[in-house]
Amino acid sequence: MAAAKRPIRVLVAKPGLDGHDRGAKVVAAALRDAGMEVIYTGLHQTPEMIAQAAVQEDVDVVGLSILSGAHLTLFPRVRKLLNEAGRDDVLVTGGGIIPPEDMDALQKQGIGKLFGPGTPTAELVRYIEEWAAEHVSA
């Protein structure tokens, strides 16, 4: 009998001063319902706190929810800190109020696909599952 594949581990975080986390909680619940292990860090996290938690929890994916407009600073900072910690294998993805041209710029900096408001949760679940199928070993 083959060993059961371990669940995908996802850290959901709200960086910066944004105080609205309903969307992050909906995403966390959808990922959990899809069988992923989800760690939600809560509001007002610094990039350093997020990267440290991602390393400590040995996650496969970091999902950032940013509504404050600071996405061009916060996504690359978390990516850089993970790289410096030797965790360039972690997918950094997320969503929020992010103009399409900024999404393109962030993807060129090593950020995964980003999702805007109203995206069906099934779409991001599928994206993470497909990424994990190629990048995460049992």
Q: Give yes or no for a contact between 95 and 115, defined as CB atoms under 8 angstroms apart.
A: yes
> What does the angle CA 127 – CA 20 – CA 100 come to, to the nearest 5 degrees?
45
Q: Which helix (H) or strand (E) holds 13?
A: strand 9-13
Note the pLDDT tens digit of each residue in 45-61: 999 999 999 999 999 99
Among 109, 10, 122, smallest CA distance to 65 is for 10
What pLDDT, on a 0 to 100 scale, did the predictor assign at position 99? 95
Report yes or no on whether pTM surpasses 0.85. yes
Please tell me the CATH code under which domain 9-133 is placed. 3.40.50.280
Note the pLDDT tens digit of each residue in 79-130: 999 999 999 999 999 999 999 999 999 999 999 999 999 999 999 999 999 9
Interstrand relation of 61-66 and 37-40 (parallel, antiparallel or unpaired): unpaired
Handedness of CA 47, 49, 55, 61 (dihedral sign): negative
Domain boundaries, the chain: 9-133
Confidence category of residue 3, pLDDT binned at 50, 70, 90: low
What pLDDT, on a 0 to 100 scale, did the predictor assign at position 135? 95
Which class for 35: exposed (0-12), middle (13-18), buried (19 or more C-beta within 10 A)? exposed
Average the pLDDT over 60-70 and give the result. 95
